[in-house]
Amino acid sequence: MRVLLISSFPPSIHNIGVPSALPFYLSQNKPQGVDLDLLYFQGFEEKKEFYEPYFKGLFSKTLKVKLTSKLIYFPLRIIQKIRFLNLLSGVSLHHLPTLKTLLFIKKNNYDLIWIYPSNLFLWSLFLGKKKIVMTGPDCTVLVHNLISDYYKKNSQKVNKELIIDNKIRLKESLILEKNWLNSKSLIHVVGEDDRKQYNKIQKSENVFFSPHPYYEFNVVKKRIDQVEGKLTILVSGENQSIYIGNFWDEITKVLIENKKLSEHYKFVIIGKNFQNSVNELINAGYEVEYFQWVESYEEILSSAQIQIFPIVLGTGTKGKVLCAFASGLYCIGTSFAFENIEIDKKNNLGQIDIQDSDKIISILLDIISDKTKYSMLALEHSEQVRFKHSPMRTGRLFWDKVVSFSKEKH
């Protein structure tokens, strides 16, 4: 079976600023008999060491294409902004097909086209009767519904312009997802709630969920019960973003109120907008290392024992959360952070509620009192994730569905 992957981004072994690692690991675990080519757009050349060396042997042919010409992009962007044409709702105008790319597709006579992500909808209009699989990876309507719910509960913390913008994006997303459903394409998501949201929009048998694979990881160097001095807690992401909100700032306050914990814990923090909380923790007596960006995230990950995920909303599955579990860290996070991760929830004592930052203190105190218990829980969770979310297993579940779809009659 000849398959073409059309991706906005170069598939890579790590997320390199956009959600691009998912198609890499699914491609890497394609079954025998699938001949896979790649068409991707330029960008991220400064990080090509994360993807170019890995294309050999993975894709039979690769075609890197330029972003949409400004002469085409800006007129269409005006039409999109005034919402004159529904087909332009929610789509990426930077990644439009050209005559060159369409001739490439026609020449190679593919059995199936795999599109990633959902904002490449316009491609489906130029592919004739080709069978299409689209990896979302999330349902955009669910994303904006959750953001809307969060705004309603936290209206005092949110800029009104953001609320208006989200309402507009929600309408655009609804049009986009209906267009995908009406296209009869096979729709793939990495969240069970995303699959359910599609069926709320419009009943369809062509939507399926498969677990997200973990990415490359290094096993932790020391487990919780092997550390003699302070335990290292990792925090990463972008503070004060829509996905973290002010939750990390609230956690910082309760850590400062319980500054005696600084005798037992130190922090490594990676990402943007953490400087104020870093200064506050240091002033309270905590040892903190702060990086806005690191060369090897996996190396930092393996040097910690615990990771906190202060995620206030989101959909699908988070690759960094999976990697933390697989590495053997004990993970503390919200239900959004642990969504669609197949671990034994009964023993997951690290789940916190976004309204209860104090629970983190009780968890950290309990870890100090029983390091063996938490070392064993971290080990159990890592074993479960390494099996349930292995690239081989998740790739097989994805491709079984795709191959079956390719054999169905139109």
pLDDT digits (tens, 9 = 90+) for 279-292: 999 999 999 999 99
Number of domains in the chain: 2
Do 205 and 250 fall within a single domain?
no
Q: Supply the pLDDT for residue 353.
A: 64
Average pLDDT over every residue of 203-225 = 93
Does the pLDDT at position 349 exceed 70? Answer: no
User: What is the structure's pLDDT at 404?
Assistant: 95
pTM for the full predicted model: 0.89
Same domain? 109 vs 250: no
Tell me: pLDDT of 111 over 60.
yes
Q: Is the pLDDT of residue 354 over 70?
A: no
Torsion angles phi and psi, residue 345, rounded to 5: -65, -25
Instruction: Read off the CATH number of the domain in which 292 is found.
Output: 3.40.50.2000
Co-location of 88 and 165 in the same domain: yes
Per-residue pLDDT at 19 exceeds 80 = no
106: in domain: yes
Q: Is residue 218 part of a domain?
A: no
Q: How confident is the model at residue 41 (pLDDT cuts 50, 70, 90)?
A: very high
Distance CA 310, CA 329 (A): 16
Residue 37: predicted pLDDT: 98
Q: 244 and 137 share a domain?
A: no
Helix (H, G, I), strand (E, B) or coil at 80: helix
pLDDT at 83 over 60: yes
Distance CA 132, CA 382 (A): 35
Rounded distance between C-alpha atoms, residue 221 and residue 173, angstroms: 44
| For the chain, percent of residues with pLDDT exceeding 90 | 70
Q: How confident is the model at residue 378 (pLDDT cuts 50, 70, 90)?
A: very high
Q: Is residue 217 part of a domain?
A: no
| 3-state SS class at 176 | helix
Burial 90-107 (b: 16+ CB within 10 A, else e): bbbbebbbeeebeebbee
In a domain, 257, yes or no: yes
What residue numbers bound the domain in which 339 lies? 224-388
Output 164 or 288, whichever has higher pLDDT: 288
Sorting pLDDT into bands at 50, 70 and 90, what band is 317? low
Write the pLDDT tens digit of every residue in 57-74. Answer: 899 999 999 999 999 999
DSSP collapsed to 3 states, 94-143? CCCCCHHHHHHHHHHCCCEEEEECHHHHHHHHHCCCCEEEEECCCCHHHH
Same domain, 168 and 282: no
Residues 36, 152: one domain?
Answer: yes
Strand arrangement, sheet containing 62-65? 62-65, 35-41, 2-7, 112-116, 131-135, 186-189, 207-209
Same-domain status, 17 and 166: yes
Whether residue 235 sits in one domain with residue 179: no
8 Å CB contact between 351 and 384: no
- In this structure, the answer to whether residues 252 and 194 fall within a common structural domain is no
Q: How confident is the model at residue 91 (pLDDT cuts 50, 70, 90)?
A: very high
- Give me the pLDDT at residue 162, please: 67
Q: Are residues 154 and 119 part of one domain?
A: yes
CA atoms within 13 A on the CB side of 68: 19
State whether 311 and 176 are in the same domain.
Answer: no
Q: What is the pLDDT of residue 154?
A: 66
Q: For residue 189, what pLDDT band results from cuts at 50, 70 and 90?
A: very high
- C-alpha to C-alpha distance for 96 and 65, rounded to whole angstroms: 10
Separation in Å, CA 178 to CA 130, 174, 183: 19, 6, 8
Domain membership of residue 219 (yes or no) is: no
Helix, strand, coil abundance in the chain, percent, nearest 5: 50, 15, 35
Q: Are residues 164 and 44 in the same domain?
A: yes
Which whole number is the average pLDDT over 371-381? 93
Q: Is residue 282 assigned to a domain?
A: yes
- 211 preceded by cis ω (within 30°)? no
Q: Which amino acid is at 391?
A: P
Does residue 348 surpass a pLDDT of 70?
Answer: no
* Residue 160 pLDDT: 64
